[in-house]
Amino acid sequence: MAVEKGRGATQNGESRRFNLAERTADGDWLDAIAAIDGPAPRRRTQVTLEHPRTIIARNTSPDIGFSQSINAYRGCEHGCIYCFARPSHAYHDLSPGLDFETKLFAKPNAATLLRAELSKPNYSVAPIAMGTNTDPYQPIEKDWRITRDCLELLAECRHPVFITTKSDRILRDIDLLADMARDTLVSVAISVTSLDPAVARTLEPRAPHPLRRVEAIRQLAEAGVPVHASLSPIIPAITDHEIESLVARVAAAGAREVTYIPVRLPHEVAPLFRAWLDEHYPDRAAKVMAIIRDMRGGRDNDSGFGSRMRGQGVWADLIRARFVKARKRAGLGAERLTLRTDLFRPPEGAQLRLF
């Protein structure tokens, strides 16, 4: 298929993990549609309403620093080709390719569900992570404001929250974040993978310009919001040469710490990433994949707890050594902020708040 301008994936094939048909039988009319109707119009973003029964997802993974999370959306219009969440679209019989970044799901009752869960007598307070599967500040948040609704409730209840995003749209909520930061109830991670706009344009085509994200770090830090930068993922022979400059830039902007993860390619992400390399970096595609396999024990991906976040082998050690040295030179530490849980108060009805 022709590469669609402004989108990340170059393919839209169905997942084969669930034995889904690659294509529904249709005679031969679809084969001739382009010749009859001309080229298909540019793919538009579609949003479908989803009404789940619960909104807090829980995990027990030993290498993830949170036990519960909220995802206001499914799919992500940023279109990052490396996104490890792409395979989740296969559970909806949709492609982890272009469908993931164009056929989105919004959960408009998320704050209502959250209020119900926080009101349960047996609710155990622990920081909630937002931005773990899809970006809470992707473009559709401007109109849907689901992330804002959830944050307002968390602020009301003095509930701790971790937020990860690669969008400066988070600045719209700086009033809530600054208020929560005064009680050590929030920590924000801004993802900056490359300062090169040409790289970012294909790597994460609908995410804000990297310099806008650096500026978001500066404004959050000036407002007293604890913010750190994530360089994830570091892609060998594509972005790894920027490690030192990235660390220095985000530190100068006010980031308290910086983290990274070598690129991960689970399930359908691997073939999508390979196709992306062939389209945009054919001169080094084989080299990139050879280094990734070296870091992943000879495979495209390593799903083992712990090692999946660090990588292994000479290349992984080299990246780690450069990162640690750059972080030290920038005066940054590796200590993670501990958010308070002792200020939590269950949500009350509007009438009770009057007294």
Greatest Cα pair distance, the chain, in angstroms, is 70
Give the DSSP H/E element, type plus range, for residue 267.
none
Q: What is the structure's pLDDT at 1?
A: 54
Q: Are 77 and 101 in contact (CB under 8 A)?
A: yes
Q: Distance between CA atoms of 254 and 216, rounded to whole angstroms?
A: 10
Nearest to 50 by CA among 94, 88, 104: 104
Q: What fold does the segment set 44-262 form as a domain?
A: TIM Barrel (3.20.20)
pLDDT in tens, 16-27: 655 555 544 444
Amino acid at 45: T
Nearest to 311 by CA among 293, 288, 289, 290: 293
Q: Are 148 and 169 in contact (CB under 8 A)?
A: no
Q: Distance between CA atoms of 95 and 39, rounded to whole angstroms?
A: 21
Q: Are 263 and 298 in contact (CB under 8 A)?
A: no
Amino acid at 49: L
Please count the helices (runs of H) and the strands (runs of E) in the chain: 13, 10
Strands 68-70 and 128-130: parallel
Q: Which two tokens stand for residue 255?
A: 């980031």
Sign (positive or negative) of CA dihedral 107, 98, 236, 211: negative
Which contacts of 52-58 are long-range, i.e. CB under 8 A and separated by 24 or more positions?
Answer: 52/107, 52/113, 53/113, 54/113, 54/117, 55/107, 55/110, 55/113, 55/114, 55/117, 56/114, 56/117, 56/128
pLDDT in tens, 160-188: 999 999 999 999 999 999 999 999 999 99
Mean pLDDT per 10-residue segment, the chain (355 residues): 68 60 48 55 87 93 86 96 93 92 97 97 96 95 98 98 98 98 98 96 96 98 97 97 98 96 95 96 98 96 88 96 97 85 87 42
| pTM (predicted TM-score) | 0.88
| DSSP, residue by residue, 319-332 | HHHHHHHHHHHTT-
Q: Which two tokens stand for residue 182?
A: 């005064």
CB atoms within 10 A of CB 311: 24
Burial (CB count <10 Å: 0-12, 13-18, 19+), residue 57: middle
Q: Distance between CA atoms of 10 and 98, rounded to whole angstroms?
A: 7
